[in-house]
Amino acid sequence: MYEAKRMLFIYVETPLHAGSGRGLGPVDLPVQRERITGYPTIQASSLKGRLRAIVRQHNGWGDDSQELAAIFGKAGGEGENYAGALSPCDARLLLLPVRSLAGVFAWTTSLDVLARFRRDAELAGLRIPWSLPSGELAGDCALVSGGTLVAGKNVVLEDYAFAADSSQAALLHEIGAWLAENALPKEGYDYWRQQLPARLCVLPQDAFRDFALYATEVQTHIKLNPDTKTVQSGALFTVENLPADSLLYAPLLATRSRQQGKDLSGEQVLAALANCQLSRTQLGGDETTGQGWVALRLSEGGAA
């Protein structure tokens, strides 16, 4: 039984490659994606491993630390295996930046993404004060909160035009303002908190899915011959990344620790994470080329 829960928000600052191995399509190394929706995701096992490294480094614990094993689990010989008390969920996409003719870029989302976030927020003990936009959204319309993203009468994202609909501008501004205040990092994000409500755009779910599938960042990599400094034959490959300024979220759930001799409540487990004062870390691959820098923010605690 989970005793405590919180929401972890993940704001992508440099392109992020949480990889799924060798791909069969046009991209050699695609990102992890949800099977049904196709939305980019970061699997819970990747996230748990990074959180373990953060807690370990912050406290100076070794791999044999009882506290570390109680929180994250232990795999050992017979009689030494037990699950950790911390259970992160997969990190799901909430806002995807897409190039815009007006306003440079829009933070896009959809009704089903917002509805899922509200549902997952309940799981994480997070109260959401705003309601979802009402009515069905036509396939050629986009909800906006003002004129920042509007060129003429349209919102033009990549090569696609949507009729700008500001009929629920007040609600969109409320959603954007809440996300700016509660999901964006606390330090150094004043400008982005101001911009998010104006650049929030709710798309039809099919259009958002297509942008999530095809509007990610693809980088081309090569390998040079160290002697001639020319490209080696057959060494060209492409890597898909979640673009900078994406926003994801992951519920964190905690039980009482299962390790004998180290009794931690669910609240103490999450407190150990909160005490690390989460700010920035790296997720995914290509760490040595500056990829995967993210800013983290942990919500306030919620009882199960």
- Going from the C-alpha of 137 to that of each of 113, 132, 217, the distances in angstroms are 14, 12, 27
Cβ 47 vs Cβ 41: under 8 Å: no
Phi and psi of 290, rounded to 5°?
Answer: 80, 15
| DSSP bridge pairs for 237 | 221
pLDDT of residue 86: 92
pLDDT tens digits for range 126-166: 999 999 998 778 779 999 999 999 999 999 999 999 999 99
Q: How many CB atoms lie within 10 A of CB 127?
A: 10
- Averages of pLDDT over each 10 residues, the chain, 304 residues: 91 91 75 94 94 91 84 74 88 98 97 96 93 85 95 95 95 97 93 96 96 92 79 79 96 86 84 89 87 92 52
- Taking the CA atoms of residue 202, residue 302, residue 50 and residue 55 in that order, the dihedral angle to the nearest 10 degrees is 150
- Give the chain's radius of gyration (CA, Å): 21
pLDDT of residue 122: 92
CATH number given to 1-18+44-89+243-304: 2.40.30
> Quick one: which of 212, 122, 209, 130 has its CA closest to 172?
130
pLDDT of residue 89: 95
Spans of all domains in the chain: 1-18+44-89+243-304, 97-215
Cβ 236 vs Cβ 224: under 8 Å: no
First to last CA, the chain: 8
Helix (H, G, I), strand (E, B) or coil at 179: helix
pLDDT of residue 82: 78
Element (H, E) at 252: strand 247-254
